[in-house]
Amino acid sequence: MRKEVPSRHPLPLKSAIDQFIKLHKMQHKLDEVDVVQAWEACFPLFAKKMTSFIQLQPGGRLLLRLDSAPLKEELGMQKSQLAERLNEHVGRRLVHEVVIQ
């Protein structure tokens, strides 16, 4: 006689994906992708022509390397507004500080 295996209730796909992301510690990289996409959507001219590097560090520090000195000056005075706009676009608070290089 064959023993029956108790039926497992399948997880919803979203829960399974969330568990996979948590298990493999991928959330930070996914957050970084979201912020880069938000940068490109919110500031399309800057993103394509004048941004040479963008990285979201752990703790919410966003590093931007810009190729234009006047743009660095202008955006340097608007760092908190940049963070607010990016966070609003993403839908959650990921960027806590903007560092322009």
Reported as a single tens digit per residue, the pLDDT across 60-99 is: 999 999 998 998 998 899 999 999 999 999 999 999 999 9
Q: Is residue 36 situated within a structural domain?
A: yes
User: What is the token pair recorded at 21?
Assistant: 């992301």
User: What is the token pair recorded at 79?
Assistant: 């760092």
Q: Which residues pair with 36 in a beta bridge?
A: none
Arithmetic mean of pLDDT over the chain = 88
Tens-place pLDDT, residues 5-23: 555 777 788 988 989 888 8
Here the CATH number for the domain that contains residue 85 is 3.30.300
Burial class (CB in 10 A: 0-12, 13-18, 19+), 82: buried
Q: Is residue 11 situated within a structural domain?
A: no
Q: Is residue 17 situated within a structural domain?
A: no
Number of domains in the chain: 1
